[in-house]
Amino acid sequence: MKAAVLEAPKPIEQKPLSVVEAPPPEPGVGQVRIRVRVCGMCHTDLHTVEGELPLPKLPLIPGHQVVGEVDALGPGTSGLAVGERVGVPWLHSTCGRCEYCLASLENLCEAAVFTGYHVDGGYAEYMVAPAGFCCRIPEAYPDTSAAPLLCAGVIGYRALKLSEVKPGQILGLFGFGASAHIAIQVARYWGCRCYVFTRSPHHQALARELGAEWVGRAEEQPPEKLHSAVVFAPAGALIPAALEKLRRGGVLAVASIYTDPIPQMDYGQHLYYERTLRSVTAATRKDAEELLELAPKVPIRTEVQTFRLEEINEALCTLKQSGLRGAGVIVMG
């Protein structure tokens, strides 16, 4: 098979991923092998290949928004059949026994394993995954449209829930890439008013197309203060900027696995009056199931730009430069 392999992290401009020939993996107990059709791109992939996250495994095949076809079953595997179309998200597996797993907070499991980070992911023609952590994809979505739902969509959905936004309230979205362009559609379906903060002109245009009531840059003041907000961009400076735009009692959810340094905050200006600041850590299988069930009802429309596997470095560079309209997807074959 062809696979994009990271041997050592370095800036994406230096092309850290090499497309090589490798033997297809064999599924283990309870696993399936998947013939990958497409794999979405994510900022987490950038943080991985550029070394902003500590890497537990090298060499590594990144990628964790995978849509493909079950190709083979490992010993004792049940629940899926060869030929079924499935998705593989960021959450690869958990222990299933700890206090977090038993409390439906498996995303916080201390033994959690993540796709394309602890184990090889979907920037390859084949990969393996536990059958119990694969998702069935709604028939209404072709492969390229479905891929962004598996991380960008699911993380955005969990971030909306953690923001505690309610119908009729004003939601602020900071950054408007792959995740936010899905989240705004869910929020509008819920009856929320949406303000979008982004500096990119084409992201601003897409936000207006998708129903944003107001669009501006993070340093601008919106017409009204926000009830809730989500920061999607990995920019620490956006966190105090978002907090000071919240109403009293407002909630800010930060939906990023990594962010550059956060400037010093003032307690009275940014947190007082019972404002809440919380992080979003991965997502559960239940989040994925809920979003995939909701997606056709909205219906969520994913804006995608496709690339070949051989273009992976250039594609991630475009992502880094905020040059994508919506989400980037790698198409195999």
Domain 2-150+282-331 class?
A: alpha beta
175-218 pLDDT tens trace:
999 999 999 999 999 999 999 999 999 999 999 999 999 999 99
Which residues of the chain does CATH 3.90.180.10 include?
Answer: 2-150+282-331
Mean pLDDT, to the nearest integer, of 72-80? 97
CB-based contact 301:185 (threshold 8 Å): yes
Task: List Cβ neighbours of 300 (8 Å cut-off, separation of 6 or more).
Answer: 149, 153, 182, 185, 186, 294
How far apart, in whole angstroms, are the C-alpha atoms of residue 10 and residue 29?
35
How far apart, in whole angstroms, are the C-alpha atoms of residue 284 and residue 240?
28
Mean pLDDT, to the nearest integer, of 102-109? 98
247-297 pLDDT tens trace:
999 999 999 999 999 999 999 999 999 999 999 999 999 999 999 999 999
Residue 333 pLDDT exceeds 90:
no
How far apart, in whole angstroms, are the C-alpha atoms of residue 32 and residue 81?
9
Task: List Cβ neighbours of 110 (8 Å cut-off, separation of 6 or more).
Answer: 95, 98, 100
| pTM for this entry | 0.95
Fold category of 153-279 in CATH: Rossmann fold (3.40.50)
User: What percent of the chain clears pLDDT 70, i.e. is strictly above it?
Assistant: 100
Residue environment code for 254-280, b if the CB has 16+ CB neighbours within 10 A, otherwise e:
bbbbebeeeeeeeeeebbeeebbbeeb
Which residues of the chain does CATH 3.40.50.720 include?
Answer: 153-279
Mean pLDDT, to the nearest integer, of 137-149? 97
Can the peptide bond before residue 299 be classed as cis, meaning omega within 30 degrees of 0? Answer: yes
Compute, in degrees rounded to 10, the torsion defined by CA atoms 36, 41, 46, 49.
Answer: 10
How far apart, in whole angstroms, are the C-alpha atoms of residue 246 and residue 172?
9
How far apart, in whole angstroms, are the C-alpha atoms of residue 16 and residue 210?
35
pLDDT the model gives residue 286: 97
Average pLDDT, rounded, for the chain: 97
Closest CA to 91 of 47, 132, 33, 141: 132
pLDDT the model gives residue 104: 96
pLDDT the model gives residue 154: 98
Q: What DSSP character marks residue 131?
A: G
Closest CA to 320 of 7, 47, 65: 47
Query: Cα dist. 131→63, 134, 158 in Å?
Result: 18, 5, 23
Mean pLDDT, to the nearest integer, of 16-44? 98
Q: Is 188 exposed, middle or buried (0-12, 13-18, 19+ CB in 10 A)?
A: middle
Q: What DSSP character marks residue 145?
A: H
Mean pLDDT, to the nearest integer, of 121-134? 98
222-236 pLDDT tens trace:
999 999 999 999 999
DSSP bridge partners of 195: 172, 214
Reported in sequence order, the residue ranges of the chain that DSSP labels E, i.e. its strands, are 2-6, 17-21, 31-40, 66-73, 85-88, 91-93, 113-114, 126-130, 135-136, 170-174, 193-197, 214-216, 226-231, 246-254, 276-279, 304-308, 327-331
pLDDT the model gives residue 325: 86
How far apart, in whole angstroms, are the C-alpha atoms of residue 223 and residue 232?
21
Q: Please state the φ and ψ torsions of residue 189, each to the nearest 5 degrees.
A: -60, -35
pLDDT the model gives residue 25: 98
CB-based contact 51:11 (threshold 8 Å): no
How far apart, in whole angstroms, are the C-alpha atoms of residue 4 and residue 284?
27
Question: Strand, helix or coil at 87?
Answer: strand
Residue 143 pLDDT exceeds 90:
yes
291-329 pLDDT tens trace:
999 999 999 999 999 999 999 999 999 999 999 988 999
Confidence of residue 68 (pLDDT cuts 50, 70, 90): very high
